[in-house]
Structure 1
Amino acid sequence: MKGRYIQVPATTGELFQAYLATSVDGRGPGIVLCQEIFGVNQAMRETADLLAEEGYTVLVPDLYWRQERGVDLGYDEADFARAFSLYQGFDEALGVEDIGATLKALDALDACEGELGVVGYCLGGKLAYLAGCRLPQVACAVGYYGVGIEKALHEAEGLGGRRLVLHLAELDAYCPAEAREAIQTALGRLPGVELYVYPGVDHAFARLGGHHYRKSAALLAHERSVAALRRTLGPDYNLSALWEEHIRHEFDTRDVPATMATMVDEPYVNHIPTMTGGVGQRELSRFYRYHFVHGNPEDMALTPISRTVGASQIVDEFIMTFTHDREVDWLLPGVAPTGKRVEIPMLGVVKFRGPKLYHEHIYWDQASVLVQIGLLDPSGLPVAGRETAQKLLDESLPSNTLMPSWPTSAGKPV
């Protein structure tokens, strides 16, 4: 738990507690995070901490306080039964009222600046939807697998064009196909509304460590949520400048501590073809210090081709060139230097959390590298060497040279 609890005044004058996670920047746009039926438990606190890493100041109100204060449940059979009982006795209207009170308290904090949003899961997913419809101070509402939204579709007129993002699970028995269809029909064409259905996943697919957790869907949903929040609330980070600073320390200054300082506390790097890199500060620092930053050829250079900048990640297309004058652990592990000149088209998917780099996925054609250093004979194989980089730079070079059947279509009607 990285945050702390504070007291929030209800409209009645009574106080209830809320978990506060402050933006990594010290100040940031405000988000009220609405709980699942299990209360403000570890999963909700970790989610708040993650959003704080993304640059938001987050309050997670104890929405069960009118029934029982401080509910913090797990997911075993007994806790589920207790959670379901609390859910059945929950008053949604009062819950939205408490979200409004939490937004007011959040807006008054020194650590909060700018617009306000609401994010919720399960029970909280519907409450986020209702808050977006009923509370004009909500600039963006994000709901994950909200239960019962199809019964409140008439409320959507209150959105007034403000942004709403709903994440729905294809296999969710609490929001079956007919409910999803009703939601999509009623909301799908409204301005500012984004609806996503995740195939093959169940309710709570984004709960880290949960039985139904699916990493691919959870990461995609998180990226879409952050994109919507960024567009509506901010903050606006210059991801290109942050990435350039990271690259500068990797290849120019060759300063490992400075490289690591550009990254989150637990980053990871994965060079896909060779599965080299590291996960976490210690392992990645070791990799950078002993197998990457100081081990690259002196003439290694990057030629940018294109860059796509999203809300939370960059996709970089570039050509890497170098002379294979030493063993390059991360690229050609265990291969003695050949003295060959190498040119490689590469693609990097670089993910950020707030102003810090979270991960790198780097792709290239290893067969092309092996051809260029003489370890792979391309004869009779659908692989090429330096030509792949040359054609990326000059699209007028011949296409389809590896296709034996290509000449057979010459002159045929198209």
Structure 2
Amino acid sequence: MSSSDKGGVALDPAELKSPTPGILLHQPLLKCAARGPPLILITASSLSLQPASDVPEPPQKWAEEGFTVAAIQDSVCREVDAAERAISVAERALEECVACEGSKVGVLVYDYTVWETVKKALASKPNIVAAVVYADASTPAAETNSTPILYHVAGKANQKLQTSNGSAIHEYPKPKSPHFATPGHDSFHYSSESVSHTRNLTFLKKHMGGPYFDLEAIWDEHTYFEFAERSVEKTMGTMVEEPYVNHIPTAGIRSDTMTGGVGRDRLSNFYRRHFIFSNPDDTELELVSRTVGIDRVIDEFVFSFTHNKEIDWLIPGIPPTGKPVTVPFTSVVNIRGDRLYHEHIAWDQASVLVQLGLMPAYLPYPYPLPDGTKPGAGKRFEYKVPAAGADTAKKILDRNSVPSNEMLEYKIREVDI
């Protein structure tokens, strides 16, 4: 497999430039371009060059987003003069880097303990147009810096931050430490980091003028390779170094049958053995709606096929029934730079089973009724399964195709055992 087929590949540590001790320069990690705007990161001194898991460390992640990155270790920013010198060195290195384009510089601080010195250093840096900081509850009550600043506060801020000049603050109730966005740290919190990252992109791109990518075209190319060309290599070539896919059936199936893959090797194996060549020849996807954000595409669509082969990613272990199936899906596709990072795919599994004739209309209800009533001798309670077949797809395609609220009439019944 060629490097272009393999997708995003992290820079070899030997290829990373260090203009001075404590500073590393990372070029953009993009599929279709090798240039990007300048971004300065203030990272933990213990930052390693290789990710410890499938979550890349900040310099690689931001390079995958299309930025030219200068990563400064926090240990060289403990004093204002030192921070000014380090940022100046980083700015010069970015200016001299052939991969860097644009004069508007962004700064992102992962260690709040050096924020006060970095903030003072920014006052003498007119090219720095926006800053982001991961903070704790001691965030100051007022912000006077002329540079727009985005605060991510672990927990709840002690006081309401009075922002100006486009500054903003977001609170994250689950994390207990500002290090929730640092992979490998004990306080790392994946979902909070993910939300904060999207907010960072919105904030930085607004002030820096990009980079922007055609997310619809990137997603459409990926699905073309999946369903039309049916090429594992080309499909994986549209994704970052360590992508993942989660298929989440929303009803009627145990959680241990959820399918997909986390990481390049496992996802490649899933595509090759369980997905791309497992879909029937008459598979169709009909788009119902699409929402495009700063870093993701969210689709509603109807997935239709004839169950003439085993589709283990969708209905594992069930032999072909020959039945036609049409079912609503949703997909949340996160795109990092010009490549996919992850897909969260969900569908109504109960609707699939109804259409295959594998979901009974009634199932046992093993509990007493709310008033304490129990079934009589030789009898049992049953509930009518609140699931529909092809009507679910009809309803999402045409709101008037099926009457609403008919399931509200469903009741418990008592039957002979």
**Which category of TM-score, normalised to the shorter sequence, fits these structures?**
0.7 to 0.9
CA distance in 1, matches of 2:66, 2:258: 31
CA distance in 1, matches of 2:115, 2:358: 55
| 2:390 paired residue number | 386
1:155 paired with 2:110, answer no
1:121 paired with 2:132, answer no
CA distances 1:347-389 after superposition (whole Å, capped 9, x unpaired): 0011112111111110001011101100002341111111111
Instruction: Select 2:317's aligned residue among 326, 334, 356.
Output: 334
| 2:184 paired residue number | 209
Distance 1:356 1:286, change over 3 A: same
CA distance in 2, matches of 1:291, 1:43: 30
CA distances 1:315-347 after superposition (whole Å, capped 9, x unpaired): 111000111111111001110111111111100
* Shift, 1:282, TM fit: 1.9
* Shift, 1:394, TM fit: 1.2
Instruction: Select 2:294's aligned residue among 272, 286, 311.
Output: 311
Gapped regions of structure 1 (runs ≥ 5)? 9-15, 66-86, 172-176, 407-414
| 2:170 paired residue number | 196
Letter in 1 for 2:248: I
- Contact 1:170–1:197 at 8 Å: present in 2 too? yes
CA distances 1:202-242 after superposition (whole Å, capped 9, x unpaired): 12111212111111111111121122223333111111001
Letter in 2 for 1:221: S
| 1:72 paired residue number | none
| 2:64 paired residue number | 53
Instruction: Select 2:407's aligned residue among 380, 384, 402.
Output: 402
CA distance in 2, matches of 1:320, 1:228: 35
Q: What SS does structure 1 have at the residue aligned with 2:406?
A: coil
| 1:168 paired residue number | 153
- Contact 2:137–2:153 at 8 Å: present in 1 too? no
* Shift, 1:39, TM fit: 6.2
1:6 paired with 2:18, answer yes
Question: What is the correspondence of 1:181-192 to structure 2 with a 5 Å cutoff?
Answer: 181=159, 184-187=160-163, 190-192=164-166
Instruction: Select 2:83's aligned residue among 72, 77, 95.
Output: 95
CA distance in 2, matches of 1:362, 1:24: 26
| 1:291 paired residue number | 274
Distance 1:343 1:128, change over 3 A: farther
Letter in 1 for 2:187: H
- Contact 2:333–2:342 at 8 Å: present in 1 too? yes
Letter in 1 for 2:316: P
- Contact 1:35–1:121 at 8 Å: present in 2 too? yes
- Contact 2:81–2:121 at 8 Å: present in 1 too? no
- Contact 1:305–1:318 at 8 Å: present in 2 too? yes
Distance 1:125 1:223, change over 3 A: farther
Q: What SS does structure 2 have at the residue aligned with 1:223?
A: helix
- Contact 2:28–2:36 at 8 Å: present in 1 too? yes
- Contact 2:305–2:326 at 8 Å: present in 1 too? yes
Task: Tell me how many residue pairs correspond in the alignment.
Answer: 359
| 1:262 paired residue number | 238
| 2:194 paired residue number | 219
Distance 1:250 1:63, change over 3 A: closer
Of stretches 216-225 and 360-369 in structure 1, the one that deviates more from structure 2 is: 216-225
- Contact 1:119–1:125 at 8 Å: present in 2 too? no
- Contact 2:289–2:299 at 8 Å: present in 1 too? yes
Distance 1:99 1:121, change over 3 A: same
1:31 paired with 2:39, answer yes
Q: Relative to total residues, which structure has the larger helix share, 1 or 2?
A: 1
Question: What is the correspondence of 1:273-292 to structure 2 with a 5 Å cutoff?
Answer: 273=249, 274-292=257-275
Gapped regions of structure 2 (runs ≥ 5)? 1-11, 250-256, 363-383, 412-417
Distance 1:106 1:314, change over 3 A: same
| 2:365 paired residue number | none
Instruction: Select 1:105's aligned residue among 72, 89, 93.
Output: 93
Q: What SS does structure 2 have at the residue aligned with 1:264?
A: strand
Q: What SS does structure 2 have at the residue aligned with 1:320?
A: strand
Distance 1:266 1:356, change over 3 A: same
CA distances 1:147-177 after superposition (whole Å, capped 9, x unpaired): 97528x4532x23xxx421100017xxxxx4
CA distance in 2, matches of 1:41, 1:257: 30
| TM-score, scaled relative to structure 2 | 0.79
CA distances 1:237-258 after superposition (whole Å, capped 9, x unpaired): 1110010001001111111111
Instruction: Select 1:248's aligned residue among 224, 235, 243.
Output: 224
| 1:343 paired residue number | 326
CA distance in 1, matches of 2:338, 2:387: 39
CA distance in 2, matches of 1:127, 1:309: 38
* Shift, 1:288, TM fit: 1.1
Distance 1:63 1:382, change over 3 A: closer
Letter in 2 for 1:155: T
* Shift, 1:93, TM fit: 4.8
- Contact 2:134–2:151 at 8 Å: present in 1 too? yes
Instruction: Select 1:137's aligned residue among 127, 132, 148.
Output: 127
Structure 1 stretches of 4+ moved >6 Å: none
Q: Highest relative contact order (Cα 8 Å, sep 6+), 1 or 2?
A: 2
CA distance in 2, matches of 1:321, 1:208: 40
* Shift, 1:128, TM fit: 5.4
Q: Identity across aligned pairs (percent)? A: 38
CA distance in 2, matches of 1:35, 1:392: 46
